[in-house]
Amino acid sequence: MRLAGACEGTLACSTCHLIFEKDTFQKLDAISDEELDMLDLAYGLTETSRLGCQVCVKKSMDGLTVRVPMDVSDIRRQLEVGKQSKQ
């Protein structure tokens, strides 16, 4: 099972950006060049960042905790800022 972002797992965005603990990150399947390219566009990138849509969730991961970045690039945020400036 994979977590899908806005692009439904097609590696066309970075909305499913997750941050793993170092020991867990090292156990994940290899990262592709395409995923690395999309991660370059992600906010809050860390050494243990991955795109959730590219991580295969396995039974052995039960109980795993991951973090999401504090900041995101999201059109909804831009629209909200626009609304506030008009008031």
What is the rounded CA–CA span in Å between residue 54 and residue 16? 9
Task: Point out which residues pair with 17 in neighbouring strands.
Answer: 51
Domain ranges of the chain: 17-82
pLDDT along the chain (87 residues), means of 10: 71 89 93 94 92 90 88 58 59
Could you tell me if 42 and 54 are in contact, meaning their C-beta atoms sit under 8 angstroms apart? no
| pTM attached to this predicted model | 0.74
Architecture of domain 17-82: Roll (3.10)
DSSP 57: P
